[in-house]
Chains A and B, each alone.
Chain A
Amino acid sequence: MSLGLLLALLAWGTLVGLDLVSVPQMMIARPLVAGPIAGAMLGDVWTGLTLGVLFELFQYEVLPVGAARYPEYGPATVAAVSAAHAAAGTLGLGLGALVGLISGMAGGVSLHVVRRLNARAVRRATAALEAGDARVLVRLHTAAILRDAARAAVVTALGLGLALLARTYLAGTISARGVMLLDVAAVGSALAVGTAGTLRLVGRGPDLRWFAAGVVGGAAVAWLR
């Protein structure tokens, strides 16, 4: 992979990470968007779409309410696509998922760290804030956004580094059956997480009937195709 391509992926992962919480929350942070665009950068849209769909299912478990702590799947999907790209086709899915899930966990931890750093910065500026100093207010806010951009860049770089390691040391050592087992674990867990997350969202009320109707309808379409 060329340095230019690596930098492009790093820039995309940073934008995606910034979109999750800070700016502008237009949902490019969703794996469904982050994955295919990373795939297009690598000239491998199929892998991007597949891992985007896979991590979108993991994303259904996350409800970003208040101070909740959750994994960050946007930059993770970019790293996952990068890892899976080398092992073309279905073979790379499990490898990509492994890299993506580890990066997602790291992303979640990094969000917590940045929030604590932001709190410290706010505490330091309390006197100016209480005096209504608009310049300090804007500077504090801008610095926090830059901090989040740096965080997203570090998480993406970590993910891309993991992808490189996985490609170098894991890809050749696993048998064809082992690769298939990894793929089964990745897709199976994504389907389980997506279903459980959706059911939690739907709850036990009247919407459950709509969910059941949707499952029947979707299954019918899948059967007819």
Chain B
Amino acid sequence: MSAAPRARPAFGRSLLRLFTVQGSWNYERMQGVGMGVAEEPLLRDLRVAGNGAAYRAAVARGAHFFNAHPYLCGLAVGAAARAEHEGVPPEQVERLRTALCGPLGSLGDRLVWAGWLPFTSGLGLIGVALGLGFPAILGFLVVFNAGHVALRWWALRAGWTHGVRVAVALRQPVLQRATAVLGPAMAFVVGAALPLVAQYLSGGFLGWSRVALAAVAAGGFALLWWLRARLTGVRLGLALLAVATLAGWLWP
């Protein structure tokens, strides 16, 4: 049995809960529990309509395994909640959630982790390297989060609007264009940030230490590139610091 959704679903509450969607991340259901928590306010109409069994079944389904990009989880939350209201068969709701994991994960990783985040962080690094200090940090936080909050809000609304036909939302030209533009923009900005940051960090090095710095950076990069399967940045850093400590004691 389906229940007509309220004219104004509890988007605000659901959105707030989406900011905690990874709070109970675990190796079994991954984001599942957080997804259920975020979806629950949108399902309350089912209970109000006197259909407690449908409400409880929908809440249980909402907390099943899910894994995607956290900023785009709202799309699945909105779509699944809408489908529950429309009385879509349970197995179809489950299939919808499963089908969304891959595309939302891949799109979010390209758009945010490999695009928007390094792009805005690169701008922040350039700002600090050019001597802007705190305003650069504040600028990074404001600009990044403008995109972040907008994406979360859009995802939730789009999911609710399209329901089981949510794939339409993923084909939005704006999303496609943003993904296409952010790759080169991120590469350019982070590329520009690296020499500026190198200059900023090496300001206190003079004479032999400057030559040693260039050698360590180049050698470290070569090691990370060739041994990429085995050597991580943290291991390289700790190994170099250990060698430097030893050398400092032997060469006082």
Contact = CB atoms under 8 A, between A and B. Distances in A.
Interface string B212-252: 11011111110111001000111011101101110111011
Contact of A182 (B134, B203, B241): B241
Contacts of B215: 188
Given A123-B28, A184-B213, A215-B191, A178 B199 contact: no
Contacts of A58: 233-234, 237
**Does more than half of chain A's interface fall in helix, strand or loop, or is it mixed?**
helix
Contact of A222 (B25, B37, B144, B196): B196
Interface in A111-157: 115-116, 118-119, 121-123, 129-134, 137-138, 140-145, 148
B20 A22 contact: yes
Given A53-B200, A133-B56, A196-B221, A210 B187 contact: yes
Given A71-B234, A182-B248, A192-B236, A23 B40 contact: no
B245 A174 contact: yes
A187 B213 contact: yes
Given A98-B241, A186-B241, A54 B118 contact: no
Contacts of B24: 118, 121-122, 140-141, 143-145
Interface in A19-61: 21-28, 30, 32-33, 36, 40, 45, 49-50, 52-54, 56-61
A11 interface: no
A26 B145 contact: yes
**Does more than half of chain B's interface fall in helix, strand or loop, or is it mixed?**
helix
A183 to B, nearest CB: 7
A145 to B, nearest CB: 4
* A184, A195, A201 — most chain B CB neighbours (10 Å): A184
A185 B240 contact: yes
Nearest to B203: A90
Interface stretch (B92-100, B120-128, B157-165, B169-177): B120-128
Interface in B1-30: 19-20, 22-30
Contacts of B118: 60, 198, 201
B95 to A, nearest CB: 19
A26 B141 contact: yes
Contacts of B80: none
A195 B219 CA distance: 12
Contacts of B25: 21-22, 115, 118, 144
B191 A53 contact: no
A120 to B, nearest CB: 8
A208 interface: yes
Nearest to B32: A122
Nearest to A149: B23
B116 to A, nearest CB: 10
B194 A90 contact: no
Contact of A184 (B70, B189, B209): B209
B76 to A, nearest CB: 15
B74 interface: no
A122 B20 contact: no
Interface string B45-68: 000000000011111100100010
Interface string A95-114: 00110011011000000000
A44 to B, nearest CB: 13
Contacts of B134: 36, 40, 45
B195 A219 contact: yes
A67 B85 CA distance: 32
Given A33-B141, A137-B37, A137-B40, 19 more contacts: A25-B19, A32-B128, A56-B125, A65-B105, A98-B245, A119-B28, A131-B60, A132-B57, A141-B24, A148-B23, A178-B245, A185-B240, A188-B219, A188-B240, A191-B201, A192-B219, A197-B233, A222-B195, A222-B196
Question: Which 10 A-B pairs have CB atoms at the shortest separation, nearest pair first?
Answer: A178-B248, A214-B191, A188-B216, A132-B56, A192-B220, A90-B204, A193-B233, A144-B24, A218-B192, A118-B26
